[in-house]
Amino acid sequence: MRQRSGTFGVEVVTMTEHTRNTQDTRDGQNIRNARDTERNGNAGRIRRTGGHGSGTHDVVVVGGGAAGLSAALVLGRARRRTLVVDAGEPRNAPSSHMQGYLSRDGMAPAEFLAAGREEIARYGVELVRDRVTDVTRDGDGTRDGDFTVVLGAGRTVRARRLVVATGLKDELPAVPGVAERFGRDVLHCPFCHGWEVRDEPFGVLAAGPASVHQALMVSQWSKDVVLFLHTVAEEELSGQDLRRLAAAGVDVVPGEVAELLVEDDRLTGVRLADGSVHARSVLYVAPRPVPRTGLLERLGAEMDETPFGTYPVVDPTGLTTVPGVWAAGNAIGFAEQVVHAASGGYRAAAAIVGDLLMADLDAAVTG
């Protein structure tokens, strides 16, 4: 993976009492940090043993991308004691711009996340730059402190609920030059980078017969598209594939791609193993999505194998089959764009707020 210090080198926001007070005053909002609003002392009403001071977080959010930060924002605003643990490797870090998020179209991914981190800090959410290395579930996921979360730096925290928003990793084709140029002129998604390169000469590096679909899709953005079959045999394409490719004006070139050609830090073409050179300024590839779902698997979540990776089975709120554990963003599906990830985090958080409240009320009723 590309090192994030350049594109993601924004200071980690960890809320201190001072900054929290300053922020509260500056905003003029009626924001209290969760410690001030703790309702543990109100006997006979709601007892929140997971509140500030008990050492147990209401929620630990694993991953601080769009999904995790969005969940944290909603949880913080609902006065739930929330910790975000983020390893700082968001999927779109190789790209200098983020498209298709209404009102944020074209914003730098690092800027988007920095704004999110600033927003969650206003509500007393703690964010640490670390990696969760292990999670264990001690009970049935409905009691306080059921989850023990181990961080790489050695810290161990307890949580009543978990949000797993760990995203996925793109495993790129092993063609020299592809990894270096990914997110610049080697692209994977025309919705992310289509408009910006419209009408340029596109190549599509086939990874399987499904790459026909990618070649057809990108023809929406340029009429000059070449599908390089690479390791795919021509016979693997169906008659319908060939007819559609012809109708879209996509040229099909058999033969393995050996390397990318670059001049002045710009893609200029591809060289095939037979030595032939094809001038192209954009190459679409199909990375293999590798969801970061190890923690969920360790917790025993039911998983669903798909052609695009193995993802947890979730309900519409992102609740996995493990009680108390929600998931959102690319951790539940490869096609989750930033706006979907943010929305998924919101949905999960809202469900958790209700779930924790009902647990607290039930505990108050039973004493």
Ligand X SMILES: Cc1cc2nc3c(=O)[nH]c(=O)nc-3n(C[C@H](O)[C@H](O)[C@H](O)COP(=O)(O)OP(=O)(O)OC[C@H]3O[C@@H](n4cnc5c(N)ncnc54)[C@H](O)[C@@H]3O)c2cc1C
CB of 27 to ligand X, least distance (A): 26
Identify the CA nearest to 207 among candidates 229, 239, 240.
Answer: 229
Identify the CA nearest to 253 among candidates 288, 307, 201, 191.
Answer: 201
Please compute Rg for the chain using Cα positions: 24
Residue of 32, 131, 143, 158 interacting with ligand X (CB under 6 A): 131
CA distance 230 to 129: 40
Q: How many positions of this chain bind ligand X (CB under 6 A)?
A: 38
Asked if 292 is part of the footprint of ligand X (rule: CB under 6 A), the reply reads yes
Asked if 337 is part of the footprint of ligand X (rule: CB under 6 A), the reply reads yes
Residue number, 183 or 318, with CB nearest to ligand X? 183
Asked if 64 is part of the footprint of ligand X (rule: CB under 6 A), the reply reads yes
Asked if 91 is part of the footprint of ligand X (rule: CB under 6 A), the reply reads yes
CA distance 328 to 348: 7
Which one of 119-127, 171-179, 302-310, 338-346 is the stretch in contact with ligand X (CB under 6 A)?
A: 338-346
Asked if 267 is part of the footprint of ligand X (rule: CB under 6 A), the reply reads no
CA distance 19 to 118: 11
Q: Which residues contact 29 (CB under 8 A, 6 or more apart)?
A: 122
To 10 degrees, what angle do helices 66-77 and 338-366 make?
Answer: 40
Residue number, 195 or 256, with CB nearest to ligand X? 195
Containing H/E element for 342?
helix 338-366
Identify the CA nearest to 324 among candidates 84, 140, 150.
Answer: 140
Asked if 48 is part of the footprint of ligand X (rule: CB under 6 A), the reply reads no
Take residue 91 and report the two structure tokens written for it. 């999927």
What's the 3-state SS for 189-240?
CCCCCCHHHCCCCEEEECCCCCHHHHHHHHCCCCCCEEEECCCCCHHHCCHH
Asked if 124 is part of the footprint of ligand X (rule: CB under 6 A), the reply reads no
Residue of 144, 146, 241, 336 interacting with ligand X (CB under 6 A): 336
Give the position of tokens 């594109």.
7
Asked if 98 is part of the footprint of ligand X (rule: CB under 6 A), the reply reads yes
CB of 281 to ligand X, least distance (A): 17
Take residue 261 and report the two structure tokens written for it. 């050609």
CB of 253 to ligand X, least distance (A): 25
CA distance 112 to 66: 8
- Write down the number of H helices and E strands in the chain: 8, 19
Which one of 32-40, 58-66, 236-244, 260-268 is the stretch in contact with ligand X (CB under 6 A)?
A: 58-66
CB of 107 to ligand X, least distance (A): 9
Q: What is the DSSP letter of 107?
A: B
Asked if 170 is part of the footprint of ligand X (rule: CB under 6 A), the reply reads yes
Residue of 15, 31, 72, 85 interacting with ligand X (CB under 6 A): 85
Residue number, 131 or 143, with CB nearest to ligand X? 131
Site for ligand X in 213-242 (CB under 6 A): none
Count CA atoms closer than 13 A to 27's CA, side-chain side: 15
x/- letters, 303..332, toward ligand X (CB under 6 A): --------------------------xxx-
Residue of 71, 83, 87, 204 interacting with ligand X (CB under 6 A): 87
CB of 170 to ligand X, least distance (A): 5
Residue number, 107 or 248, with CB nearest to ligand X? 107
Interacting residue ranges for ligand X, rule: CB under 6 A:
62-68, 85-92, 94-95, 98-101, 131-132, 165-167, 170, 183, 192, 292, 329-331, 336-339, 341
